[in-house]
Amino acid sequence: MNGGGEGLAAPATSGAAVSPLEWKFSQVFGERTAGEEVQEVDIISAIEFDRTGDHLATGDRGGRVVLFERTDIKDHGGHRRDLERMDYSISRHPEFRYKTEFQSHEPEFDYLKSLEIEEKINKIRWCQTANGALFVLSTNDKTIKYWKVQEKKIKKVCEMNVDASKSMENGAVASSMSTSSKPYLANGCKDRPVSSPSNDTSFPALHLPVVVTSQETSLVARCRRVYAHAHDYHINSISNNSDGETFISADDLRINLWNLEISNQSFNIVDVKPANMEDLTEVITSAEFHPTHCNTLAYSSSKGSIRLIDLRQSALCDTHSKLFEEQEAPGSRSFFTEIIASISDIKFAKNGRHILSRDYMTLKLWDINMDSGPVATLQVHEHLRPKLCDLYENDSIFDKFECCLSGDGHRVATGSYSNLFRVFGCSEGSTEATTLEASKNPMRRQVQTPARPSRSLGNLPRVLRRGADNSGADTNGNSFDFTTKLLHLAWHPSENSIACAASNSLYMYYA
């Protein structure tokens, strides 16, 4: 499976060829032990680095958001400005640690539509930080939430300085007061009892508990906004605008524009819903704002096309300013053509000049100034073409793989089956095509895997009961497993470091 650079149509970036990277394992979070069953709610469903790369967020199917913090910069006294001046090609070993987690979404039930709404986190996006606080947008199928995560100093009740020698007297006084004929009033306890002890000297000085702020801190996640009731279909994308004030959310048929400070109102800027739903031919699959132009965004469709729209042209952007799609070769159409052409993810390059798209078979790199075709086509799953029938039978053909670009734009990456991820060079003359198994941890203690517990046929998923083959081998003899897949990954914004999710585990690699 190490081949795959074929089909490179044109250079993505100018300049001399960049030598291939040597990827090394960095660390893993949440790795299961041999034979341990993975709970469905623990499977990671979203990954995102923040703009600086100092923080990483993951979301899972249980509705939780977990935040990680980079530690090697602090440990070695590095500063972000110094790192930005460093050569991007310098190999660094990033180290992250668990920071905090919070429950972002809960399962819901829509009684009007008799529809269960899963708590699964579909996307996470970082917002601009302020006063040391972190801001995160997270969404499930229907509701987007805006979270603020901040360190708060712990407040404690200091010890009350009561004279120990008078503790017995206090007890006697309390006993005497409790037998009073007139109890305290319930509305504030302001009235004294009628019969009070005759010896007033038995009352020590009154000491009230004092709340003091300690030097210890704890992380507190607070939901600042809830953006709900704006999507009839499942939300597949959210994306922040470079203006720092607005963001978009996209479902199958519509894209809405929100202001971060206004949760009860959004503007519908794209609507592809036809008057008659029987005329529906394509749906929106992914959407993203341009990294620097606040008026420009792109969205992809299930027909394999990408549309660039300009918010300055019209309030309702049903007409696109540019269309990027590749014409299919004559005579190549089959039953699977439209399915495998559907784009599952798009990402803008950091400079905004290129768009990377991922369909089932390939990665394509597009120049936004050239809509005649992609400047590079990288084969990811060409070896699976003979098995498309099996992939359709077990529903694997509908898997939505994400993609990402390096900060310098020289490389792209995406996931595959058997927990593999692939890194391709896309600069001029590059033939780099590296395949790595994310779940192959060299630090793992070798333990013989026990036999899997037998399960009754009734407990097997529907797709496995069909008898379809869920494993196989490519033309090079490399085996692959359709049941293990690496769908989610993210590239560090300024270094050659990749975070990827294999089931419930988060793996970090660097080069």
pLDDT of 206 reads: 64
Tokens read off for 305: 């096309």
What is the per-residue pLDDT for 122?
97
pTM, two decimal places? 0.79
pLDDT of residue 176: 45
pLDDT averaged over consecutive 10-residue blocks of the chain (511 residues)?
42 58 92 81 96 96 96 58 46 85 94 89 93 94 96 75 53 46 43 49 64 77 96 96 96 97 96 93 96 96 96 87 87 86 96 96 95 92 94 94 95 95 88 87 47 33 34 52 92 95 94 91
- Cβ atoms 500, 489 nearer than 8 A: yes
Domain layout of the chain by residue ranges: 24-157+213-441+484-510
Where is 24: in which H helix or E strand? strand 24-29
Among 498, 482, 502, CA closest to 490:
498
What string of H, E and C letters represents the secondary structure of 324-351?
A: ECCCCCCCCCCCCHHHHHCCCEEEECCC
Degrees to nearest 5, angle at CA 346 with 345 and 349: 145
DSSP β-bridge partners for residue 307: 299, 323
Tell me, what amino acid is at 465?
R
3-state secondary structure of 142: coil
The Cα 242–Cα 255 span in angstroms is 17
Measured distance CA(5)–CA(3) in Å, rounded: 6
What the block records as the tokens of 197 is: 């002890």
Question: What are the phi and psi torsion angles at 467 (to 5°)?
Answer: 90, 10
pLDDT of 161 reads 56
234: left (phi over 0), alpha (psi -120 to 50) or beta: beta
CATH number for the domain whose boundaries are 24-157+213-441+484-510: 2.130.10.10
Paired with 378 in beta bridges are 363
pLDDT at 192: 45
